[in-house]
């Protein structure tokens, strides 16, 4: 499907080395290939441009001094730089869940995988950290979404807040907070309503809930296959409600993972997890090495 970047670069350098020593221009030619590969992997243009510039600075000096296998050398520099950009602070997959009950706010567009991811994270907190978790759906517009969370809760053995009709998202959030406090839960997760696109009403609602519960984590769940759109959604949510981390879903698909790079470069927020399927187990902590390998092809 995609031409392998490593091979492509070797080809470029083969041609170049026959003409003599590597110059800055030679590296530039190779980096043009890198840029194309990044764009093919769905990295946004400005991010790809900045990335190539950073690599160029590192590659120029090195390539001239050690030109044994220049192609591989540039690939390694590119790889290391990818990992560098992708890495966030803190341990991947680590969530702030001290000071019980710790609220986690889940935000994102409809269909991004928010409800599924809420349950996946709850299961993980329960099984890996022995946390008592309460989940609550704030999606007052779609009763089916509330029921979906309840069904998932039963499936993974995690409690959900009883559904009460006619309450606002804020009222439900406060009820969740109360129940979590009284019931001795360690964490309560609020699965907010998603829309097909960002609108003021949705943001206002999420803001009200955020102000009321003061979440320890606000996680944005976005479809990793949507590339540039995912990045725009992240920027918007971050500007309006302030996110603490990102979960990229559908990374089991055949996307090249470029959204991860753009996401990191543009928002500066850590990618905490990746979703790798519909099953409750299909959640992994984000590993920069893996995505770097995928982008390089
Ligand atoms: P929400 O509207 O954001 O709450 O999205 P849902 O959680 O209902 O997910 C929408 C669909 O995407 C469901 O069919 C999920 O099973 C599916 N889904 C969620 N995460 C993943 C993932 O990581 N990979 C795949 N392949 N499907 C996913």
pLDDT (tens digit per residue) in 124-137: 999 999 999 999 99
Q: Tell me the per-residue pLDDT of 286-296, one tens digit each, with 9 for 90 and over.
A: 999 988 888 87
Nearest ligand 1 atom to the CA of 191 is: 4
Nearest-CA residue for atom 6 of ligand 1: 113
For residue 290, say whether it is annotated as part of any ligand binding site. no
The region of weakest confidence among 166-175, 223-232, 277-286 is: 223-232
277 is in an annotated binding site: no
Q: Which residue has the higher pLDDT, 170 or 26?
A: 170
Record the pTM.
0.90
Atom of ligand 1 nearest to the CA of 274: 23
How many whole angstroms from 146 Cα to the centroid of ligand 1?
A: 15
Judged by average pLDDT, the poorest of 28-42, 115-129, 158-172, 242-256 is 28-42
Pocket of ligand 1 (CB under 6 A): 108, 110-116, 194, 249-250, 252, 275-278, 282
pLDDT of 20 higher than 50: no
Interval between CA 279 and ligand 1 midpoint (Å): 9
Higher pLDDT residue, 214 or 18? 214
Q: What's the gap in Å between 276 CA and the centre of ligand 1?
A: 10
pLDDT of residue 2: 45
223 Cα: distance to centroid of ligand 1 (angstroms): 8
Check whether 68 has a pLDDT greater than 60. no
CB contact burial 167-204 (16+ within 10 A = b; e otherwise) = eebeebbeebbebbeeeebbbbbbbbbbeeeeeeebbe
- Rounded (10°) CA dihedral 35, 38, 43, 49: -20
Q: Across the beta sheet with 133-137, what order do the strands follow?
A: 159-160, 133-137, 187-191, 102-107, 217-223, 245-249, 271-275, 283-285
CA 131 to centroid of ligand 1, rounded, Å: 24
Q: What confidence score (pLDDT) does residue 1 get?
A: 36
Q: Are strands 102-107 and 187-191 parallel, antiparallel or unpaired?
A: parallel
User: Is 110 within any annotated ligand binding site?
Assistant: yes
Lowest mean pLDDT among 3-7, 92-96, 151-155, 265-269: 3-7
276 CA closest ligand 1 atom index: 23
* Band of pLDDT at residue 254, cut at 50, 70 and 90: confident
Question: For 225-233, what is the mean pLDDT?
Answer: 86
Mean pLDDT of the chain: 87
Q: Is 195 labelled a binding residue?
A: yes
Share of the chain above pLDDT 90, in %: 58
193 appears as a binding residue in the annotation: yes
- Of the given ranges (23-27, 67-71, 189-193), which has the lowest mean pLDDT? 67-71
């Amino acid at each position: 499907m995609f031409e392998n970047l490593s091979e492509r670069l070797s080809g470029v350098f083969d041609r170049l080395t026959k003409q003599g020593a590597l110059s800055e221009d030679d590296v530039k030619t190779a980096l043009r290939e890198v840029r194309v590969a990044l764009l093919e992997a769905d990295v946004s243009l400005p991010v790809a441009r900045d990335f190539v510039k950073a690599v160029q600075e590192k590659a120029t000096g090195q390539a001239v001094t050690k030109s044994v296998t220049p192609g591989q050398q540039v690939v390694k520099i590119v790889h290391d730089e990818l990992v560098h950009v992708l890495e966030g602070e803190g341990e991947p997959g680590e969530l702030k869940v001290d000071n019980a009950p710790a609220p986690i706010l889940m935000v994102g567009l409809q269909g991004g995988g928010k409800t599924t991811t809420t349950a996946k994270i709850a299961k993980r907190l329960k099984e890996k950290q022995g946390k008592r978790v309460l989940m609550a759906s704030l999606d007052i517009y779609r009763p089916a979404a509330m029921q979906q969370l309840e069904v998932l809760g039963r499936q993974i053995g995690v409690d959900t807040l009883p559904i009460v009709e006619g309450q606002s998202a804020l009222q439900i959030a406060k009820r969740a907070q109360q129940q979590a406090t009284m019931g001795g839960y360690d964490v309560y997760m609020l699965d907010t309503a998603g829309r097909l696109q960002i609108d003021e009403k949705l943001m206002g609602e999420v803001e009200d809930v955020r102000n009321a519960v003061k979440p320890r984590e606000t996680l944005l769940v976005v479809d990793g296959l949507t590339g540039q759109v995912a990045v725009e959604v992240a920027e918007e949510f971050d500007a309006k409600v302030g996110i603490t981390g990102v979960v990229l879903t559908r990374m089991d698909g055949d996307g090249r993972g470029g959204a991860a790079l753009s996401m990191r470069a543009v928002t500066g927020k850590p990618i905490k997890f990746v979703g790798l399927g519909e099953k409750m187990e299909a959640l992994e902590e984000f590993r920069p090495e893996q995505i770097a390998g995928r982008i390089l092809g």
